[in-house]
Structure 1
Amino acid sequence: MNHKHAPRTIHPLDLADIDDQLTDEEKAVREAVRTVCEKEIDPHVAQWFEAGELPTVRELAKTLGEVGLLGMHLDGYGCAGMSAVDYGLACLELEASDSGIRSLVSVQGSLAMFGIWRWGSEEQKQEWLPQMATGDAIGCFGLTEPDHGSDPGSMRTRARKDGDDWVLSGRKMWITNGSVADVAVVWANAGEEHGGIRGFVVPTATPGFSAPVIKHKMSLRASVTSELVLDEVRLPGTAIFPEVRGLKGPLSCLNEARYGIIWGSMGAARSAFESALNYSKERTQFGRPIGGFQLTQNKLAQMSNELTLGTLLALHLGRRKDAVGLRPDQVSIGKLNNVSKAIEICRTARTILGANGISLEYPVIRHANNLESVLTYEGTPEMHTLMIGQALTGEAAYR
């Protein structure tokens, strides 16, 4: 039997009509974030990137807090309590503007705020989470060290018990928001007698704490990146996370941030693909738009397919996270696949734009450079490959 249907509109950025799988509420969240990005970020981000600074970071944090984006997937304490899919869609739109802006939100909400929300004392939660949710306080997350990235268990930062106080000494590296933060969640080795790796809530005004800005970056230039220096930083006993011990604490925070990257990387990919698609229709060579040539269409089709598959994977993992939660290896599947595919899309888009592909008049080279950082932070491709390998074989191959 033949059934006649009204012609469906083709959406070039969503040929598979993934939007049909989203609720009206989820679409509203996405549109709200996109509106903020178009007004507050997109007109300025290329200039910020070229200058290598984010001069309005505090004002921007407050704007993002006003619309409920900071810690939006957390419950209580002034947080919006939205779903994992809502948060993922927000990350996608933020990173379509710039990876550095998504990093600002991810570090605030999924690392610093989540760490306090999941592992902090009630006193720590009450003191910090409400003002972080509004953007009145900015947080950072200190785990990576100059000589210890993929192997955080070997960290050199130490926490020494001194009476009722704790004294922290050490250095952390590549810390987003570090030099503008009001509070840092810092992980330090307290020694076996005190549970090994422990988390501390460190007000950045504490004597001995400093955060020099890292300069000369060619990636994530529209983002504040710093070193944290802890020189005999004395904290009260109430500064420590009371229960969590070992790497369970920091790794749980990293998994939250990695989940946002699964979505965010598809935002960068979408932006690069859209730019290449539009350019292919406007750029004329040999008497016709370059989008009319088979080689260009092959590139566009491949980019479209990878964007579709990556977005479907992000949505599946988001639905699963909301329903039953995600295992670490499932998060690794998403980050390993989506970031690598997003880089491929950006590089292919660059070839379609030709020489214009390296100009900041277009977003492509900015996204490509940013994704080189996204590829290795929150777990390198090698580490995520080994996490998947361990899930498949039952054998840990890290050492």
Structure 2
Amino acid sequence: MSLFGKIKGTLSLLKDIDIEAIAKLNSKIDLKEVMDKVGSLDDDQLNGLMKMLTRKAKRGQHKLPPIDGDFYDLSLKLTPEQREIQLKVRNFMEDEVRPIANEYWKKAEFPQQIIPKLATLNIAGIAYKGYGCPEQNFVMEGIIAIEMARVDVSMSTFFGVHSGLAMGSIYLCGSEEQKLEWLPKMQRMEAIGAFGLTEPNVGSAISQGMETTCQRDGDTWILNGQKKWIGNATFADVTIVWAKDVDDKQVKGFLVRKGTPGFSPEKIEDKMALRTVENALITITDCRISESDRLQEANSFKDTAKVLKMTRAGVAWQAVGCARGAYESAVKYCKKREQFGKPIATFQLIQNHLVEMLANLTAMQTLCYRLSELQDEGLLKDEQASLAKVFCSMRTRDVVSRAREVMGGNGILLEHDVARFVADAEAIYSYEGTKEINSLIVGRAITGYSAFV
């Protein structure tokens, strides 16, 4: 093609611009000077200009792929019924929670009005058998955790404490009478549960160093001590409290009803993470609990550990949801945010960040899926749950960090959601066993040596 032909082809890109648009363009640039410059270009330069203009013209017509963190299509492994539950939870989180998530996170308040709406989903205690529970499986429980956490980790934590730790304690350690009294109404979310294990002076070493005590006095037990970081406890109808028996030195569990004298929960303020969750410092002073409200099948810390093992997989799934929410928010932002005249998603370094985020996210999802399969098959080991918690909480930190990085300064603003995911990832990293403690559980399993002390 001749030089004249290439110039003519370049100018043909302007054929659809009307006279008014040309006049407006001429007010911004000197069109004659532009034409002079174009006329002085050699063939290679003109070819480059043609490619640039053509790419610019076609960009608006380019159909972009949907934003989806399920890159290996794990959703295809769900049954139609499970897929329906997943989408029901997703729609609820998008319609009811996303519009208020940042507002309540900023206010550090839990939206009480959301509980009756959440109850209509019929998902509490979803992996348990009987007592009005949906009787699905732990894979489905994990999928629900992802769907909640990808929008709001606080909401996922609230639900995990209630459905997992509190209901799970009764399900695993309660008598039949206790299960019949509490599980059906907790499943309907007519009663909300909390779980009191961690203390002000003891976290990781709680199995050996628990300071909260219980002592039998006839048909009642007298509890004394403090519990800290207890989610939902400011408004829970029942709190599972673990205490060490002063007589036999064994850990026992108790159902402490709301309003019980000597049981005083105080909301913890000024948190930088999970601000919507109402964690409490509970002071327990000569609190009398009847023998009928002692968890009848909780006779040592081994029973407490059964609850933690069952729910630790759920925390790993929460980490996946947090990472997925940050990743999807970052992709959405990068497609819309323009710098140097084009979306930053077109830049190589940005794409590299997104790929590394997706790789971590995909590894986490597939690991957790297999973990829950083992749990459903009754084969789950402590060290397997711990490995998932270690890996997923670490990788989530990396994903949310990269999500904030690709957003630049905007990444620290709540309006883009990622700032909330960055902060909440720090809580996930610590609760349900720190990275170090869970690492030692796995290390003991693979070496045969305990390195705890």
Q: Percent identity, please.
A: 36
Q: Distance in 1 between matches of 2:68 and 2:172?
A: 40
Q: Distance in 2 between matches of 1:163 and 1:308?
A: 55
1:356 aligns with 2:425: no
Aligned residues of 1:272 and 1:367 also touching (Cα < 8 A): yes
Aligned to 1:191: 246
- The 3 A distance-change label for structure 1 pair 95 and 10 is closer
Q: CA deviation at 1:19?
A: 2.9
Aligned to 2:72: 16
Q: Distance in 1 between matches of 2:279 and 2:291?
A: 29
Q: TM-score, normalised by structure 2?
A: 0.83
Aligned to 1:114: 168
List runs of 5+ in structure 2 lacking aligned partners: 1-64
Q: Distance in 2 between matches of 1:183 and 1:33?
A: 25
Structure 1 runs (4+) deviating above 3 angstroms are 9-12
1:166 aligns with 2:221: yes
Q: Distance in 2 between matches of 1:16 and 1:204?
A: 45
List runs of 5+ in structure 1 lacking aligned partners: 1-8
The match for 1:77 among 106, 131, 135 is 131
The match for 2:236 among 181, 189, 194 is 181
SS in 1 for 2:234: helix
Amino acid at match of 1:385: S
Q: CA deviation at 1:268?
A: 1.2
Aligned residues of 1:11 and 1:17 also touching (Cα < 8 A): no
Amino acid at match of 2:78: L
The match for 1:50 among 97, 106, 111 is 106
Aligned residues of 1:29 and 1:89 also touching (Cα < 8 A): no
Matches within 5 A, 1:1-399: 12-54=68-110, 56-57=111-112, 59-153=113-207, 154-193=209-248, 196-399=250-453
Amino acid at match of 1:167: I
Deviations 1:272-326 (A, max 9, x none): 1111112212222122221111111110111111111111111111122112331
Aligned residues: 388
Amino acid at match of 2:397: I
Aligned residues of 1:191 and 1:197 also touching (Cα < 8 A): no
Amino acid at match of 1:27: R
Aligned residues of 2:298 and 2:304 also touching (Cα < 8 A): no
SS in 1 for 2:288: strand
Deviations 1:170-205 (A, max 9, x none): 100000001101111110011353x61111111122
SS in 1 for 2:303: helix
User: Larger Rg: 1 or 2?
Assistant: 2
Aligned residues of 2:194 and 2:232 also touching (Cα < 8 A): yes
Q: Distance in 2 between matches of 1:86 and 1:185?
A: 25
- The 3 A distance-change label for structure 1 pair 131 and 223 is same
Q: Distance in 1 between matches of 2:211 and 2:172?
A: 24
Aligned residues of 1:209 and 1:228 also touching (Cα < 8 A): yes
Q: Output the aligned Cα RMSD.
A: 1.5
Q: Distance in 2 between matches of 1:103 and 1:202?
A: 21
Aligned residues of 1:144 and 1:174 also touching (Cα < 8 A): yes
Q: Distance in 1 between matches of 2:116 and 2:173?
A: 25
Q: CA deviation at 1:10?
A: 7.7
Aligned residues of 1:107 and 1:257 also touching (Cα < 8 A): no
Greater relative CO, 1 or 2 (CA 8 Å, sep 6+): 1
Q: Distance in 2 between matches of 1:343 and 1:26?
A: 29
